[in-house]
Amino acid sequence: MTGPGLEFTPESAKPFLQEVMERSGQKLTACYQCRRCAAGCTVGDETGFFTPNILIRNVILGDRETALSNPLVWKCVSCYTCGTRCPNDIQTARITETLKKMAKEAHIDPLQPKVAAFHDSFLESGLRWGRVNEMELMGVYECRNILRDARDGNYDAIIDELKGQARLGMAMFKLKRMHTGFMMAKGRKEIKALYKKAKQRRQAPAGMNP
Amino acid sequence: MEIAYYPGCSLKQSSALYDLQSRRIFSELGVALKEIEDWNCCGATSAGKVDDFLAMAMPARNIGIAEAAGYQEIVIPCSACYSRTLVAQQRLADDARLKAEVNTGFAKKMNGGIKVSSILEVLIARIEAGALKPKLRRKFRRLKPVCYYGCMQTRFPYTVPVPDDVENPQGMETVLGALGVKAIDWNHKTFCCGASAAVNDPETSLNLMGRIMTEAIDRGANCFVATCPMCQLNLDAHQDAFCRRIGIEERLPVFFITEVIGAAMGISPESLQVDRHFIDGTTLLKELDGDER
């Protein structure tokens, strides 16, 4: 069975491919579609057969729309099985991680909004305090979910989510696996300042980079 | 013997028991774990998905702190922290410009010469040095564990020096073997539990954990042994949920490797806080308690 025909125009395909290759550090053009990644993909059952090799082919063909929004990018658990088994050392999980960032920059809504909300909340928490405080992280993450669900009118989803989290939270509390103290690292200031400088450098016009 | 120790956020919160156990077990083995000063979050798997610069800079600062304190080796029990730190160290060794850039911001510059070790590497080195044998008090007869490594302990997004086989690691089997326990061989030892997907995509995560559980039961295991706090928490806290979905009646305790070693040393499960598990593990460890060596 063959899929629908794809249009391929090298001029428009190349810049996108170049960007993904540079940012992910992966040589996508080395892929010869052996599908070892597909055979080993942990979330193969979850992505509707949208396997790593298909994602690579989409990027090579310049199908930007599919590459930035597909089940694999958002279901990928970064287990790195595909990359470990790739005969050409292509770490597709680095590609899905890169495409997540590119989708965000292009303001494309994630197919799994909770996944994006979680990782954003996690890193922000780590950066804000220098250490991740699990309770604060979960609070910020759930606020994001509630705001999104409320905007979309999914009130049942809000109730389900809060019920589930409350149940787990209570169980963890009883087992003393919930930490109530607050953690901070002074060094967060070093990282924040460094991050700010790095961002400014990257946003500087071409030719301005040292 | 002193080595630097990076606990990470998990071991200070939901998996505080693992922190306590690691310190205790290593002190029995003659190693003092010296927690590095003012360490920061490593960024975990989230940093790689949100910002590549932070994914390098966050662990790099911790390496710099450990090096400035004069340590030759740092042990990181959490698999995600271990993976991120090892990858950052290697990537910065390969990219002098990026290394110079991150170092401009740090009071304690990172050089990159320190050895970043997983908990298994340090345990095995101590066992080989003969530190374990005189400490063993109890003998297990009925423990039938499957060793669960998960992802971060074995597979990396960047080429780094790995201490164990990628597809069929043996580190945990080696440690258990030194306790006189024969681990059951199985296929899902490096299969992913979903990690943070348990929070943000439970459908996927419960399916994956169901597959892990199914094989563990089929092989006749009566417990899991793990080194990763995320794997341990997932398989433990969500076990009722994923077992109900696939109709499995049995429940298997998910031990940290430190709990099994502790029990063999004759340390009571309560003092190692094994009673903080969702699936009861103290009963199994106590049943085995009587077998004097």
Residue from A131, A149, A161, A189 whose CB has the most chain B CBs within 10 Å, to mutate: A131
Chains A and B form CB pairs within 8 A to the count of 180
Q: What is the mean pLDDT of chain B?
A: 96
Q: What is the dihedral of CA B157, B162, B165, B171, to 10 degrees?
A: -120
Nearest to B12 by CA among A169, A119, A191, A184: A184
> Is residue A86 domain-shared with residue A167, that is, in the same domain?
no
B155 and chain A: CB distance < 8 Å anywhere? yes
Chain B positions touching A93 (Cβ under 8 A) are: 157
The pLDDT tens digits of the residues spanning B155-202 come to 999 999 988 999 999 999 999 999 999 999 999 999 999 999 999 999
The pLDDT tens digits of the residues spanning A28-83 come to 999 999 999 999 999 999 999 899 999 999 999 999 999 999 999 999 999 999 99
Query: Among all chains, which residue has been given the structure tokens 């428009």?
Result: A12
> Is residue A120 domain-shared with residue A191, that is, in the same domain?
yes
CB atoms within 10 A of CB A90: 23
CB contact under 8 A, A177 and B50: no
Nearest residue on chain B to A40, alpha-carbon basis:
B191
> Is residue B51 domain-shared with residue B111, that is, in the same domain?
yes
Chain B positions touching A170 (Cβ under 8 A) are: none
Question: A197-206, B21-30, B47-56, B71-80: which range is least confident on average?
Answer: A197-206
Q: Which pLDDT value is given to residue B141?
A: 78
Range of the domain at A135: 113-199
The answer to the question of residue A79 being in a domain is yes
> Is residue B23 domain-shared with residue B50, that is, in the same domain?
yes
End-to-end, the C-alpha distance of chain A in Å comes to 52
CB contact under 8 A, B151 and A79: yes
Who's near A70: CB < 8 A, 6+ residues apart?
A47, A50, A55, A58, A111
Range of the domain at B16: 2-120
Number of H helices, E strands in chain A: 11, 0
Nearest to B200 by CA among A193, A180, A50, A141: A141
What's the CATH code of the domain at A85? 1.10.1060.10
Single residue among B61, B93, B120 that ends a domain in this structure: B120
CB contact under 8 A, B200 and A193: no
> Is residue B228 domain-shared with residue B167, that is, in the same domain?
yes
> Is residue A120 domain-shared with residue A96, that is, in the same domain?
no
B103 and chain A: CB distance < 8 Å anywhere? no
Largest separation between any pair of C-alpha atoms in chain B: 59
Who's near B283: CB < 8 A, 6+ residues apart?
none
* Mean pLDDT, range B148-155, rounded to an integer: 96
CB contact under 8 A, B101 and A198: yes
The pLDDT tens digits of the residues spanning A89-118 come to 999 999 999 999 999 999 999 999 999 999
Single residue among B87, B120, B153 that ends a domain in this structure: B120
B145-148/B73-76 β-pairing = unpaired
Residue A87 pLDDT level (bands cut at 50, 70, 90): very high
CB atoms within 10 A of CB A210: 6
- Chain B (124-143) residues lying within 8 Å, Cβ to Cβ, of chain A: none
* Mean pLDDT, range B6-13, rounded to an integer: 97
Question: B43-52, B135-144, B149-158: which range is least confident on average?
Answer: B135-144
The answer to the question of residue A29 being in a domain is yes
Nearest residue on chain B to A112, alpha-carbon basis:
B201
Residue A208 pLDDT level (bands cut at 50, 70, 90): very low
> Is residue B116 domain-shared with residue B210, that is, in the same domain?
no
d(CA B56, CA B102) in angstroms, rounded, equals 8
d(CA B196, CA B124) in angstroms, rounded, equals 29
pLDDT above 70: residue B2: yes
- Chain A (89-148) residues lying within 8 Å, Cβ to Cβ, of chain B: 89, 91, 93-94, 97, 100-101, 112, 114-115, 117-120, 122-123, 125-127, 130-134, 138, 141
> Is residue A167 domain-shared with residue A94, that is, in the same domain?
no
> Is residue A52 domain-shared with residue A137, that is, in the same domain?
no
Q: Which pLDDT value is given to residue A7?
A: 75
A83 and chain B: CB distance < 8 Å anywhere? yes
End-to-end, the C-alpha distance of chain B in Å comes to 28
pLDDT above 90: residue B286: no
User: Are the C-beta atoms of residues A195 and B53 closer than 8 Å to each other?
Assistant: yes
Single residue among A58, A89, A105 that ends a domain in this structure: A105
pLDDT above 90: residue A27: yes
Single residue among A70, A105, A140 that ends a domain in this structure: A105
> Is residue A30 domain-shared with residue A57, that is, in the same domain?
yes
Calculate ∠ Cα B235-B246-A84, nearest 5°. 55
Nearest residue on chain B to A188, alpha-carbon basis:
B40
Nearest to B99 by CA among B132, B125, B61, B68: B61
What angle, 0 to 180 degrees and rounded to 10, lies between the N-to-C axes of helices A134-152 and A155-174?
Answer: 160
Q: Which pLDDT value is given to residue A3?
A: 65
Using CB atoms, which residue from B16, B57, B194 is nearest to A191? B57
Q: Which pLDDT value is given to residue B249?
A: 97
- Chain A (35-74) residues lying within 8 Å, Cβ to Cβ, of chain B: 42-43, 45-46
Q: Which pLDDT value is given to residue B289?
A: 60
Write the DSSP symbol of residue B112: S
Prediction ipTM score: 0.95
Using CB atoms, which residue from B41, B46, B190 is nearest to A130? B41
pLDDT above 70: residue B291: no
Chain B positions touching A185 (Cβ under 8 A) are: 38-41
Chain A positions touching B65 (Cβ under 8 A) are: 187
* Mean pLDDT, range B60-75, rounded to an integer: 98
- If 0-12 CB within 10 Å is exposed, 13-18 middle and 19+ buried, where does residue A139 land? middle
pLDDT above 80: residue B230: yes
pLDDT above 80: residue A88: yes
> Is residue A127 domain-shared with residue A90, that is, in the same domain?
no
The answer to the question of residue B57 being in a domain is yes
Q: Which pLDDT value is given to residue B290?
A: 60
The pLDDT tens digits of the residues spanning A145-186 come to 999 999 999 999 999 999 999 999 999 999 999 888 899 999
Provide the sign of the torsion angle of the four alpha carbons B10, B14, B17, B20, taken in this order.
positive
Nearest to B167 by CA among A72, A79, A47: A79
- Chain B (187-246) residues lying within 8 Å, Cβ to Cβ, of chain A: 190-192, 194-197, 199-205, 207-208, 233, 237
Which is more confidently placed, B120 or A208? Answer: B120
Number of domains in chain B: 2
d(CA A121, CA A141) in angstroms, rounded, equals 6
CB contact under 8 A, B49 and A195: no
Question: How far does the CA of residue B14 sit from the closest CA of chain A (Å)?
Answer: 4
d(CA A193, CA B261) in angstroms, rounded, equals 43
Query: Among all chains, which residue has been given the structure tokens 């980079």?
Result: A209
Single residue among A87, A105, A123 that ends a domain in this structure: A105
Residue B17 pLDDT level (bands cut at 50, 70, 90): very high
Chain B positions touching A190 (Cβ under 8 A) are: 61, 105-107
Nearest to A128 by CA among B43, B192, B190: B43
* Mean pLDDT, range B43-60, rounded to an integer: 96
